[in-house]
Structure 1
Amino acid sequence: MHITLPAANGDRVSYRLVGRPVEPNKSARFSRIAYAAAHVVADPIAMTNPWSRPAVDWDRTMAFRHHLWRLGFRIAEAMDTSQRGMGFDWASARELIRRSIGEAKTVPGADLASGAGTDHLAPAAAKTLDDVIGAYEEQFAFIEDEGGKAIMMASRALAAVAKGPDDYARVYDRMLSQASGKVILHWLGDMFDPALKGYWGSNDFDTALDTVVAIIERHADKVEGIKISLLDAEKEVLLRDRLPEGVVMFTGDDFNYPELIAGDGRRHSHALLGIFDAIAPVANAALAKLAEGDKAGYDALMAPTVPLSRKIFEAPTEYYKAGIVFMAWLNGHQDHFTMVGGMQSARGICHYADVFRLSDQAGLLADPDLAIARMKTLLAMAGI
């Protein structure tokens, strides 16, 4: 099968599909905790004002969560992959969390954790740390009242108000001390959200690391783990090696996840990854191999997904959500390539052509005929 795709230099290149769709192992047991941060499916008919009034296709959004649960993944709900802070507001996230927690109760063994942030508080409106704490408390309370587990997301409002590490310590100490259950922390780098530059009160990594570790040590009984998303394997390992007993590392490194999940022979990372939304069938098969002790099989499956992930998460990294939803469309999980906030326009046609090629090479086009037909539709819209 062939398709003509654009190249960055303006040429048109005939591409022959080479990949064979990887079959997931639906009965697999993983030796790593694996959360997939899931996207939302927009409703293009109801979304009459795409930039400011999100509308969600709840049936397709829930169906995608069932797809992930069937493949053995836990779900990280209402995180940045669902466009929190980029077109998807707290009112929509609240409904998403409510529906997902309810849906999980219908699926034996299903698990999820939900993002608690401060995104209903505009950073400019936050004047004090108490404003930030109040915003966190509102979202924590909603998730816990629904019977859910919270992921404490990084806060733009806190980054705007805090004067240094002590201010971060005050907010995190307060929230962790009063949480009803264990919490997952999230260290999100400014490559994902420029408003988070200097998070933890310092632009120096070692200083920020000391702040985070001290907070976790004070609340080790309340912290399930921490997800770090800095796209730097060495920094993740430095934090991983300092975590207290019983607190786990969740890699959020969409560039280096295979090696971090496999580990270094002493320790390994678990996973909370946006890329798992897009590569779930292959990640399932690879994690099954790892659980069986077949490291070579794991590497063989995971390695081709890395160039794809690096393309999807290339700078400007915050627009990675477009590639995630593009792949869901190619693979038939939704009938359109429309995103909340019109975010599909954040990437160009050559980017999508590269994602198409790399998805094929990683064995991630479940139905190549459907994928080709949909790619041709997108190309025609770009005049190709």
Structure 2
Amino acid sequence: MSLSLEELGWSEEFERHFAAVNDTTVVPARVIRENRGEYIIHTGKERAVARLPGVERIGKSDSSEYPTVGDWLAVEKVPLSDDYLIRELLPRKSLFERKVVGEATRHQSIVANFDSLFLVTGLDADFNTSRIQRYLSVAWNSRAQLVVILNKADLIEELDEVLAAVKEVAKDVPVHAVSAFDPASLECLKQYLGTGRTVALLGSSGVGKSSLTNAFIGEDRLLTQQNRAADGKGRHTTTWRELSPLPGGGMLIDLPGMRELQLTGEGDGVDKTFSDIEELMTQCKFRNCRHEGEPGCAIDKAIESGDLAVSRYKQYVKLRNEQIVAQERREARDKIIAGRRRKIAVKEGPVKKKIAKKRKQLNTSRSYLENLDD
């Protein structure tokens, strides 16, 4: 499919970044899919395969240093080939990353350069507001607009009550109740779409992200599956990340389902998600109040009056503690990486001096030969 750079999401901001690295041998391209070290890109004229040069594949300490779906690149055509080499990863305007499951500090970049992040949850047996609060806490640091999507609205009768409960935990984040099989209910989401805009869908397996994607695209491009009857939990349908153009303009990314989503230790997502609790804490009588029955505790007062739900406060404490642990682990990892880089720099010092000495000797020899010619 032929798409212009603007239709792919190109902007003046990316144009400025590209101009800074453009040596006339490179062209801009966007990553539309990642396949284990190989990247499917679109240059605005063609789809092609792009790879990192061999030396760039080693030595990177974090996955955020590697391209991911949605990234803009400066690429160079390989002579006598249809493939490209990646020369530069352009600065990102947004990024969603998560902690790798089973790893203490390692993070994985999931998607980049999106304008809106749809946090999708299903209004079925697997629905709960705690998961929405977790997703908000992790997604705040993406630097994109967050939108909560309550899919499968046709399955619930007490929709108004559920909407009110979700809006209470989402605070200033927009909340929309829709059904992937009711086109009229999706009209409210068109305000986030359009030429030059990119939307990513994030949520657990079985919440209906693939069904929403099919509805936006206008065809059954992605397979869908029924949730397990025993517990209402979903099965993985989408197993890769891919950027897809929408008929009405804009790009859409359906991300694989993520049942486990842990905090990364970066940013202040928990503070923003629970800004009401953070504000209450400033009203406590004592600065070091632990909110465990101390005199003048604003948290205890809010819980007693019903202004703050106990479940919301418990979720805040849980995520706050998880954030602190993740931050400590990340800081420890950063110190280790910094130490390794210093060792490398120390080792490189004598080598650079030796090279400089040889160059000086070489220049002296050249001057001697030039003088002989005179």
Comparing both structures, which one devotes a greater share of its residues to helix?
A: 1
Greater Rg over alpha carbons, structure: 2
**Richer in strand (by share):** 2
Relative CO higher for 1 or 2, CA cutoff 8 Å, sep ≥ 6? 1
Q: Is TM-score (shorter-chain normalized) higher than 0.5?
A: no
- TM-score scaled to structure 1, two decimals? 0.28
TM-score, structure 2 length as denominator? 0.28
